[in-house]
Amino acid sequence: MGTMSGAFNLSGHCGEPVRLVWVDEQGRAKSLVGKCIDITDQRVVHVEVVERIPLRTQVRLRGPNIELPPLAFVNSVTACATKFILVLE
């Protein structure tokens, strides 16, 4: 979903929905919609979700209004009240 130059459109997408798809430890396909918090210049994506996704899990990303890297790995998970903040690289 990147442009031909490989650059991603990073501006103005805080709060946008992001669909995450991954395979859990039992081999089942899982999916949920989270909220984009931030996308850095290095394409690190911060997403708020309602379910913990294990570290080092590979996830597919899709945002209807956001150009995202198609695949990323969960690099960090932080509990925040009833939600989780994922750092995806």
pLDDT of residue 41: 83
Looking at residue 28, the DSSP 8-state letter turns out to be -
Chain-wide mean pLDDT for the chain? 86
Instruction: Read off the pLDDT band of 12 (50, 70, 90).
Output: low
pLDDT(65) > 70: yes
- Residue recorded with tokens 């790995």: 73
Burial 36-74 (b: 16+ CB within 10 A, else e): bbebeeebebbbbbeeebeeebebebebeebbbbeebeb
**What is the value of pTM for the model shown?**
0.81
Give pLDDT, residue 14. Answer: 75
